[in-house]
Amino acid sequence: MKTEIKKIDATKREMNVEVSGDIVKNKFEDVFTRISKSAKVAGFRPGHAPRDILEKHYGSRAHEQVIKELVPDIYHEAIQKEGLDVIDYPEISEVKLERERLVFKATFEISPEIAVEDYKGIKVSSKEIRVEADEIKRTLDSLKESSNRDAADDSLAKSLGYPNLAELEKALEKQIFLQKDNEERRRIENSLIEEILKDLNFKTPESMVSRHLKDLVRQSKVNLAMKGVPREKIDEQEDTLSKELRPAAEKQVRVYLVLAAIAKKENMPLDDHMSRRVVEFLLREADWEVGD
C-alpha cells in the first residue's frame, strides 16, 4: 500500500491511496465467484457460465462491487498505518480501479492537536449555599396561587401530600437548597472549563460543528413543536435557529475536544461518560476556597 498525505489546513487532510497486486485481484475473484452463483446467462446453468462471458455481462456490476467493498477496508487500513485520528466520514473521490490496481483520494478532518497543560490546581471559589426565609415564602405563595387557595396553611400542605405546613416548608427548603447547589456546581464547572479554554488556540473542526449544530437545531424544533408552534412556522425559523445556535455548537465542540485531550493525557477511556469523568477529575484536582 502506498499513501501520500496532503495538509489542507490545521485539521483537514487529503490522502492519496494506492494498492495493487493480490489484494485487488483476489477481491475481483471473490466478487465474480459470488456473482456466478446467481448469474443468469442464456445457455448456461447458474454457476457454470465461463469467466469471459460473466465479465461481458456482469463486468460493470463486479467493478462497482469491488470498489464498494475494497475502498472502505483499504481506507481504514491506511488511516491506521498513518496513525491519524479521523473525526468524521471521509469524502472519497478520484477512484480508479484496474484488474490489479486501485487508486483513490480520501478527504477528511482529523482531531486538532491541543496542547492542554495547566489543568490541575486551578483556583475555584465556591459560595456557601443558604436558603432564606423569603425564598420559602415566595415558593409557598406560588403554590398557593396555583392551587387556588386563600392561605398557605396545613390545608394546602395536605393537598400536596404533606401532614402539615411545617413539613411542607422543610421539603421546600430542601428543594430550594438542592436547586441552588446544582446551580452553583454548574457555575463552578463552567468557570473551571473557561479557565482551561481561555489560553488554548486551536481550529474547531467544521464537520464536528456542523453535525452538532444539526442536533441542536433538531432539538430546538422539537421543543417548539411541543409548545404548539405550527410545523410551517418551525420550518421557516430553521435558518434563524441555525445562525443563533452556531456559537453554542462551536463552544460545545471545543469543550468536548479539550476534555477529550485531558482524558487522553490521563489515560481515561473515551467513552460516553468521558466528559463527566474528566470534569469530576478536574474538580478533585482544583484548588478550592469557600467564600460567602
Q: Is the pLDDT of residue 32 over 90?
A: no
The mean pLDDT of 120-124, rounded to a whole number, is 91
Q: Which helix (H) or strand (E) holds 61?
A: helix 51-82
- Asked if the model's pLDDT at residue 284 lies above 90, the reply is yes
Confidence of residue 48 (pLDDT cuts 50, 70, 90): low
Q: Residue holding cell 421543543?
A: 223
Q: How sure is the predictor about 179, in pLDDT bands with cuts at 50, 70 and 90?
A: very high
Question: Over 80: is that where the pLDDT of 39 sits?
Answer: no
Give the burial class of 145: count Cβ atoms within 10 A of its Cβ; 0-12 exposed, 13-18 middle, 19 or more buried. Answer: exposed
Q: In the prediction, which pLDDT does 218 show?
A: 95
Residues 6+ apart with CB under 8 A from 247: none
Q: What sign does the CA torsion over 241, 247, 248, 253 have? A: positive
Task: Set out the domains of the chain in order of their start, with CATH numbers.
Answer: 2-109 (3.30.70.1050), 123-291 (no CATH)
Residue 110: the pLDDT is 93
**Whole-number percent of the chain with pLDDT over 90:** 75
Q: Which of 2, 56, 57, 54 is nearest to 29 (CA)?
A: 54
- Alpha-carbon dihedral 269, 270, 276, 280, rounded to 10 degrees: 40
Grid cell digits, residue 234: 418551525
User: Cell 436547586 maps to which residue?
Assistant: 179
State the SS3 of 182-225.
HHHHHHHHHHHHHHHHCCCCCCCCHHHHHHHHHHHHHHHHHHHH
Average pLDDT over residues 103-123: 92
Question: For 41-55, 89-103, 116-130, which range has the lowest pLDDT when averaged over its residues?
Answer: 41-55
Q: What is the mean pLDDT of residues 164-181?
A: 95
Contact 66, 27 (CB under 8 A): yes
Greater confidence (139 vs 38) lies with: 139
Residue 22's Cα: distance from chain center in Å? 38
DSSP state of 110: B
- Helix/strand/coil percent split, the chain, to 5: 60, 15, 25
d(CA 31, CA 36): 9
Q: Are strands 2-7 and 12-20 parallel, antiparallel or unpaired?
A: antiparallel
For residue range 223-268, what is the model confidence (pLDDT) as tens digits? 999 999 999 999 999 999 999 999 999 999 999 999 999 999 999 9
Could you give the percent of the chain with pLDDT greater than 70?
Answer: 97
The predicted model scores a pTM of 0.75
Q: Is the pLDDT of residue 108 over 90?
A: yes
pLDDT score, position 58: 76
Give the pairing type, strands 123-127 and 101-109: unpaired
Residue 59 grid cell: 463486468
Residue 89 pLDDT greater than 70, yes or no: yes
